[in-house]
Amino acid sequence: MAQFGIGMIGLGTVGTAVARRLIDQWELLRRRAGSTPVLRRVAVRDPGRPRDLDLPRVQLDGDAEALVDDPAVEVVVEAMGGIDRASALMDRALRAGKPVVTANKAALAAHGLELAALARENRVSLRYEAAVGAGLPVVALLRDSLRGDRVSGLEMIINGTTNVILTGMEKQGATLAEALADAQQRGFAEADPSADVDGHDAAAKLLLLSRLAFDAPLTMDDVVTVGIGGVTAQDIDCAALLGGSVKLVALAQREGETVTMSVRPTLVLDGHPLHGIDDSENALVVTSDLAGHVMVGGLGAGGDSTASAVVSDIVATVLAPSQAPPVPASSPAIGDDGAVERAGYVRVRLHPVADAAQLVIQALEDRGISVEASALTQPAMGADQELALRTGVVARDMLARAVETVDSLAVVDEVATVMDCVRPS
């Protein structure tokens, strides 16, 4: 039976798992692909470093450009990470008419539109299932399964690091710093976790899915991004009092020819599909006109889970190496984030004044903001009492203006937190 030569750039955790599957399970992959995907060449930064992997008949060296140019390499798998060099190597492969498989969401967020155009120009595939949600088939869901639908919304928990941190704060009562340290010790957070904690990783993933969902050439500048750095233990406790938990939620929606996208900490109420998505789990809820609400959830991080998606893409590439990415069908306007209507969560520190909580609630209602639930915390000795409340659905800007009024009240020490709130349909 025919063979298909695979070249891989990078041999870290994911690359090692991919290589092991290609070598150990070649018969299974041959049956699935119709041809045998054979790992012929690997390029790494340090070829002399000892590795816990036997690579029989595989050329291992440090020349990634030579790997891309090698006639024996028919599919290039980019597993090195980073943006500029990884993008340049994928560009080189596509110009040479070689399909590319990657797990690199950062490179695709920055240069994916140009790379997809190159893939179409050269009639080869560019596959990236592993770039979003590791082994969860979320790219395939939007690219293939729902291509006959008009998607109107995406709502997701798509960053494992922040979900591990927020779950630790909720379940163990840890501070954000303590939960982050634990996530790093468990291997769920990088030494520099800023891309995750600041929300940029989730924003890149949201962008890739939104491009598919809305057939649009969207960019990172179109995503409003707020990280979890301001989430406190008080917010976690107040969320529980109000019947939910705090999660980093990525949201995209299309109304007519207008798209809005955002990533921000959100109070997720019990009964909502994203409530109970804990630790390293990810989940995506898609809303479309024909399928209605479709949810995909499961393990969204880890070497083996990510390798599952990479190997699946390799098999799909062997089956259809010339299946180019879809062409963006429209260029929608980017909507006003402040005009998006969501329920809200507000936490206020109060001066020790009688009826302070009622005065805050009344101030909100006077500004047209309905208060659906509220809770008063029991302050520690010497601490201010706090009022946590959730509102009805309202435009974000309208809630922000009402909160400014609350902040000016004599009974209010500080408006500590304002977040979105999502609830069951």
Query: Catalytic residue positions?
Result: 205
Displacement of CA 343 from its chain's centroid (Å): 22
190 is in an annotated binding site: yes
Q: How far from each other are the two terminal CA atoms of the chain, in whole angstroms?
A: 52
For residue 97, say whether it is annotated as part of any ligand binding site. no
Which tokens sit at 402?
């009402």
Amino acid at site 79: A
Query: Could you tell me how far CA 278 lies from the centroid of its own chain?
Result: 14
SS3 for 393?
coil
Torsion of CA 99, 101, 102, 107, to 10 degrees: 20
Residue pair 106/82 in contact by the 8 Å Cβ criterion: yes
Distance of CA 50 to the CA centre of its chain: 33
Beta bridge partners of 349: 386, 414
36 close to 67: Cβ distance less than 8 angstroms: no
Does 105 carry a binding-site annotation?
yes
Count of alpha carbons within 13 angstroms of residue 110, beta-carbon side? 15
- State yes or no: 247 annotated in a binding site: no
Structure token digits, residue 32 = 């699935």
13 is in an annotated binding site: yes
- Label residue 276 left, alpha or beta by phi (over 0 means left) and psi (-120 to 50 means alpha): left
Give phi and psi for 184, each to the nearest 5: -65, -40
Specify the pairing of strand 292-299 against strand 371-376. unpaired
> Do you know the residue count of the chain?
425
Residue 9 is assigned to a ligand binding site: yes
Q: Is 338 annotated as a binding residue?
A: no
Residue 16 annotated in ligand binding:
yes
Q: Is 10 annotated as a binding residue?
A: yes
Whether 155 has a binding-site annotation, put simply, is no
Q: To which residue do tokens 């329920």 refer?
A: 343
Pairwise CA distance, residues 281 & 261, whole Å: 22
Q: Both tokens of residue 41?
A: 């060449």
Amino acid at 254: R
Tell me the three state secondary structure of residue 212: helix
> Which residues does the annotation place in the binding site?
9-16, 105, 190
> Which residues does the annotation place in the binding site for NADP(+)?
9-16
> Which residues does the annotation place in the binding site for L-homoserine?
190
